[in-house]
Structure 1
Amino acid sequence: MSQAESLDKISLRYGNDLIDWDLSGDVVLFDVRDPKSRCDPERFFLQAGQAIDSARPDLSRVGIVVADKTRLCNYPIYLPRLMEAFEKRGIDSGRIRFFIAYSTHARQSDAESFVAYGEVYRRFTFIHHDGSNPDSFALLGETSRKIPVLMRKDLLECTFVLTFGAISHHYFAGYGGGRKLIFPGLGFREAVYLNHALFLDRAEKRLAPGCRPGVLDGNPLAEDLEEHEAFFQAHMAIHGILDRNGKVCELIFGAGPSDFRKACAEHARNCELPDGKRYSWVLASCGGHPRDINFIQSHKAIQNASLFVEDGGTLVALARCRDGVGSSTFLPYFSMEGFAGAFERLSMRYEGNGGTALSMMTKTARIRIIMITDLDEKTCRIIGVKKVSHNQALRYIQNRKGAMAVLPNAGLLVRVPKGPVHGIRSKDR
């Protein structure tokens, strides 16, 4: 699918900055394709009104579920127009409440929330989800994998629930956005951990091979999420399709699993490549902020980029991690006598970002990872990566032998086992 191309210079995103690279030798550039822009605020306002009218919902109590700062969807631009569509139909601010789908992420500050959602954050009620209090949830049943389906009581009180968020790949759930805004986004913490524990193949003592980005069928974790949705489904979903810069290019209205899958396929069309040749050297950027806001988010890009690296090869990753690791439960798993010890602990009680720790261990056992990052050197040593400066990384790359793959948007570009080609090479852009 690719061939060596001449690429002498490139700028790669690092947080909100760009780092310039002078490259030499054979370089193969792999990147995503930006979707055509089919969305603007006025068109969205009209579409939202038509969708609401077609659904003929009971708008007595409206609940709108949005993502947190790690998964933005141009909210300051489009939420005001959505509110106008409701207001035009006689729905005042007192009948609308927003739920921020943190899942197990840390709560944002008011300042961060204002940046994420704009003026709407000051005008409407926003509920910052906390999944730790069992009294806030009602039991609806359990999935076939014996995972309880617990829903926020105040969400169940809403007569109309709308989810609004960007579709993305997820490194073990297949895809993010859509139904994931409700669960695990608004889930009870222990139930979220039980679902995430499906990432573990306990019989083989390994990570479940079906749990990978771009895979829904045969992915036990994704299949469990679909069962959750059967108990409680949003009345309407707005799925955002973004370009590499995080700009919304299309907003797809729908509801239920079928429409979610269609939105995932639209996202995949621009971001997937079939598995292929692996390289001894790979230079990868997460794609900048917010994809490298912390290590937990950056790991998704590192996982994607690792699939381009041959066994024993080297990945040079740009991951600023402005907010540090992004989890208090991640690092302790690296002091449990390696993969086997951490796996055993998680098998007994899955908690926090343990699956991410295991996933990272599998990569550092197979390849060398060099990272340009704001993380301190001690943290880098714990997770098994070497922290370097830009100049040090450049010397490594210039002294390499053989071809090197370059991934400017590793947080978006996903290799899948087989199927249609959705990603593109630079010369096809």
Structure 2
Amino acid sequence: MKIEFGYGNSVQMVEIPDRNLMAVLESNPFQHERRGRQAVEYALDNPIGAPLLENLVRKGQKIVIVTSDISRPMPSYEVLPGVLDRLYKAGISRQDITVVLALGSHRRHTEEEKRKLVGERCYQEVKCVDSDIEDCVFLRETKNRTPVEITREVVEADFRICLGNIEFHYFAGYSGGAKAIMPGVASYNAIQMNHRLMIQESSCAGRLEGNLLREDIEEAGNIVGIDYIVNVVLDEHKKIVYCTAGDVTEAHRDGCRYLDKMYRKVISSRADIVMVSQGGAPKDANLYQVQKALDNAKHAVKKGGRIILIGACQEGTGSKKFEEWLLEADTPHSMIERIGEHFELGGHKAVAIGMILENAQIDLVSEMPEAFVRHIFMNPQPSAQKALDEALEKYGENAKVLAMPYGGSTLPVVL
């Protein structure tokens, strides 16, 4: 069977023998009842675990709406108009509404980027600011000793609304919900303390209950107080196909269940060889982005197996700190030991790769120099087809191959 894997602005075509191919993992066939702003309005009309938004807020309250920064696919410009309309309906004045773009540890936005993220209408009507990692208020620590240090603008609001998109997250289980607060608008120190929990076995994609890191996020959210959420689920083209609104936990879990129906893929067993791609440009511009597909693929490969990672990475690693950790490591395991002693953002992505390398070989099809790829513990390959041919030669004529053309979206689960 011939399968296309997105690779930058082109594709890598691979022929996988039918006898070896276990499955091609793509999103489950799904009929979405509503899309875009229609889905948002329906969710706002039918909140989960909470009254209508316009019945919760009161005239004179200071309202903060926390939403995603430019590094996330969240289409805030489609969600914000409906939220603003509800607030105005309740008598909230424009002067009492602030949209805070959750930077986490990322760079600040230009004004033009803010305008693009929130949409022209919102940008003109209400105050739109970046979260400020340098101006945070300490509330208290979580039971895991994470300091709940949150951007002052958010802490001092009377009513907090969190927006976000829900997708699988490689250590928080899922994005969305309270993640807008921690790490979204938290201090650098708070983010580091929360993210240090990523090396726990429970911190993995698709898991909420018993996930220590996710529980830490939600405890922080409870300490701050999240009054309402509006979360969306996106398709492979980053378009809204579902929206959920209301209580921070109940509405979030509803969205997670919807995501599972779309992208959780049950497989009968793990494969000897997993071929995975982010789907091409712009999602495979660098290794930092491509790591997401790699991490989903780890759930499908046998111990001692091989992951063939297909991503152009024309911009290299995409993160200076991420690259430093990879280059400074003597072995993959040394990165895991290092982060246990001292957590650094950026380094955590390198550790995620190190944890995979403990169990499987990674062949990388990319535009990065071969010597560099070897230095970061991966095996460079000139093409996906050559990588597969070589892997089949090693694992034999009965080797099982799993294909994940949209690896960042699909989560394999062995039952």
Q: Does the C-alpha gap of structure 1 residues 56 and 89 become closer, same or farther in structure 2, counting only changes over 3 Å?
A: closer
Q: CA deviation at 1:113?
A: 4.3
- Measured in 2, the distance between the counterparts of 1:295 and 1:114 equals 28
Shift of 1:379: 4.4
* 2:187 match: 188
Alpha-carbon distance between aligned partners in 1 of 2:285 and 2:227, rounded to the nearest angstrom: 32
- Is the 8 Å Cα contact of residues 321 and 374 (structure 1) preserved in structure 2? yes
The match for 1:238 is: 230
Matched residues, percent identical?
A: 24
Label 1:65 to 1:42 Cα distance change in 2 as closer, same or farther (>3 A). Answer: same
Match of 2:376 among 377, 383, 407: 383
- Residue 32 (str. 1) matches residue 27 (str. 2): yes
Do residues 166 (structure 1) and 145 (structure 2) align?
no
Note if 1:62 corresponds to 2:58.
Answer: no
SS in 1 for 2:321: coil
State yes or no: 1:351 paired with 2:344.
yes
Q: 1:359 to 1:44 in 2, by over 3 A?
A: closer
- Which residue of structure 2 aligns with residue 393 of structure 1? 384
Does the CA-based 8 Å contact 1:198-1:221 persist in structure 2? yes
Q: Secondary structure at the match of 2:320?
A: coil
Q: CA deviation at 1:221?
A: 1.0
Q: Which amino acid aligns with 1:83?
A: L
Partner of 2:7: 14
How far did residue 406 of structure 1 move? 1.0
Q: Which amino acid aligns with 1:242?
A: L
Equivalent pair of 2:64/2:161 in contact (CA under 8 Å): yes
Q: Report what 1:223 is aligned to.
A: 215
Distance 1:98 1:294 in 2: 30
- In 2 relative to 1, CA 226–275 (structure 1 residues): closer, same or farther, beyond 3 Å? farther
TM-score by length of 1: 0.83
User: Offset of 1:60 from its aligned partner?
Assistant: 3.3
Are the aligned partners of 1:237 and 1:254 in contact in 2 as well (CA < 8 Å)?
yes
Work out which of the residue numbers 238, 248, 265 in structure 2 matches 1:256: 248
Q: Which moved more, 1:73-82 or 1:169-178?
A: 73-82
Q: Secondary structure at the match of 2:74?
A: coil
- Aligned length, in residue pairs: 398
Is residue 329 of structure 1 aligned with residue 321 of structure 2? yes
Structure 1 252/377 Cα, relative in aligned 2: closer, same or farther at 3 Å? same
Where do 1:114-193 residues align within 5 Å?
114-120=115-121, 122-123=123-124, 124-131=126-133, 133=134, 136-193=135-192
> Secondary structure of 1:144's partner?
coil
* Structure 2 portions without partners, runs of 5+: 47-51
Q: 1:41 and 1:220, CA in 2 relative to 1: closer, same or farther beyond 3 A?
A: closer
> 22-31 vs 288-297, which deviates more?
288-297
> 1:72 aligns to what?
73
Question: Which whole-Å CA distance do the structure 1 matches of 2:177 and 2:324 have between them?
Answer: 31
Opposite residue 240 of structure 2, the aligned amino acid is V
CA–CA distance in 2 between the matches of 1:412 and 1:325? 21
Q: What is the CA distance between 1:121 and its match in structure 2?
A: 6.6
2:95 aligned counterpart, secondary structure:
helix
1:347-426 equivalences in 2 (<5 Å): 347-377=340-370, 379-389=372-382, 392-398=383-389, 400=392, 401=397, 402-416=399-413, 418=415
Closer/same/farther in 2, CA of residues 396 and 56 from structure 1, 3 Å limit = closer
Amino acid at match of 1:151: I
- In 1, the alpha carbon distance for the partners of 2:333 and 2:276 equals 29
Alignment root-mean-square deviation, CA? 2.8
Kindly provide the CA deviation profile for residues 164-183 of structure 1, in whole angstroms up to 9, marking residues without a partner as x.
11111111111111110111
Opposite residue 160 of structure 1, the aligned amino acid is F
Please tell me whether the aligned partners of residues 104 and 189 of structure 1 are also in contact (alpha carbons under 8 angstroms). Answer: yes
Give the residue type in structure 1 aligned to 2:139. Answer: L
Question: How far did 1:333 drift?
Answer: 2.3
Larger deviation, residues 355-364 vs 375-384: 375-384
Pair 1:44-2:40 in alignment: yes
CA separation in 2, counterparts of 1:368 and 1:249? 36
Does the 8 Å CA contact 1:174/1:214 hold for their aligned counterparts? Answer: yes
Matched residues in 1 for 2:355 and 2:42: separation?
48
* TM-score (norm. length: structure 2): 0.85
Amino acid at match of 1:76: Y
- Greater CA deviation, 265-274 or 166-175? 265-274
Q: Deviations over 1:241-288 (max 9, x none)?
A: 112221111111112223322222221222223464222322211134
Gaps of 5+ in 1: 1-6, 200-206, 419-429
